[in-house]
């Protein structure tokens, strides 16, 4: 007997496929793809045993494992679940809805705000001084700020260069800039385990990618080896940028 297939069923299948694909991307980025594959195999076996073969005893055992396994998966994949919710909340329309409900205005970066940052990056690039600068936007970076030293100073080119000077005690960490202020320095960022990141990119680039995957921040990297300026934003790298390209990327309204 044929069943009716309507537009609602098509949307249902499309949403499930999208959810599985997005979950696959998250697992691949975090290096947990083998666990994800194992979970899919277990679910397939469970469906065959309980629905197709109708084995009651084995099916009931699988049912118990599934009910307990949901809690175990939440604990096991808490970082991936958190990243998914942060990504969902950082979407442009979702952020706009939150700002509408809370009455907050969107924080925008003006030309005068980012020029000291651009000039500092160009200067450090010429001197081959490594740097990592995170531009905080709508999603707060409270955990990252707590890992560093509070600065709370106006954005200044010379101050940024002094922070990343090779003999400075804070030069190894990241500087977080938000609301027109240098909020903290020497901050520790989450490192991305994405296997697709090119081998020639170092730990600064992986840290920048990690924070860009978990927030809506721009992460600017100045390579100590090559002097190249790059930006990680929403899980994507923009490599070997000029001063004009860096300014355009930071001021672009997403």
pLDDT for residue 6 = 73
Evaluate whether residue 2 is within a structural domain. Answer: no
Domain around 215:
111-251
Evaluate whether residue 19 is within a structural domain. Answer: yes
Q: Are 186 and 160 in contact (CB under 8 A)?
A: no
pLDDT for residue 200 = 82
The DSSP letter of residue 104 is P
CA 91, CA 137: separation in Å to the nearest integer?
A: 12
What is the tens place of the pLDDT at every residue in 116-130? Answer: 999 999 999 999 999
Structural domains counted in the chain: 2
Q: Is 44 helix (H, G, I), strand (E, B) or coil?
A: helix
Tokens of 245: 């390209």
pTM over 0.85, yes/no: no
- Where does a domain end: 78, 102, 126? 102
CA 234, CA 123: separation in Å to the nearest integer?
A: 26
**Domain identity same for 184 and 246:** yes
What is the tens place of the pLDDT at every residue in 182-239? Answer: 999 999 998 887 777 888 888 999 999 989 888 889 999 999 999 999 999 988 899 9
**Domain identity same for 126 and 98:** no
Residue 188 CA, distance from chain mean position: 14
Positions of the chain with pLDDT under 70: 1-5, 26-33, 69, 76-112, 253-254
Tokens of 254: 């997403």
């Amino acid at each position: 007997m044929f069943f009716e297939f309507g537009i609602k069923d098509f949307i249902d299948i499309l949403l499930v496929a999208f959810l599985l694909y997005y979950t696959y991307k998250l697992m691949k980025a975090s290096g947990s793809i083998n666990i994800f594959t194992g979970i899919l195999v277990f679910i397939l076996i469970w469906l065959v045993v309980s629905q197709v073969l109708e084995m009651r005893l084995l099916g009931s055992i699988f049912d118990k494992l599934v009910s307990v396994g949901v809690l175990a998966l939440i604990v096991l994949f808490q970082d991936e679940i958190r990243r998914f919710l942060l990504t969902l909340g950082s979407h442009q329309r979702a952020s706009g809805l939150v700002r509408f409900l809370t009455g907050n205005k969107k924080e925008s970066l003006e030309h005068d705000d980012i020029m000291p940052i651009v000039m500092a990056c160009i200067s450090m690039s010429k001197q081959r001084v490594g740097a990592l600068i995170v531009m905080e936007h709508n999603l707060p970076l409270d955990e990252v700020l707590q890992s560093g030293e509070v600065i709370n100073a106006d954005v200044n080119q010379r101050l940024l260069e002094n922070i990343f000077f090779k003999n400075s005690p804070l030069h190894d960490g990241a500087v977080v800039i938000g609301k027109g202020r240098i909020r903290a320095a020497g901050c520790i960022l989450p490192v991305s385990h994405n296997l697709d990141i090119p081998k020639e990119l170092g730990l600064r680039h992986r840290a920048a990618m990690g924070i860009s995957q978990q927030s809506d921040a721009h992460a600017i990297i100045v390579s100590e080896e090559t002097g190249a300026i790059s930006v990680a934003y929403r899980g994507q790298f923009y490599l070997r940028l000029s001063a004009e390209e860096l300014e355009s990327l930071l001021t672009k309204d997403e």
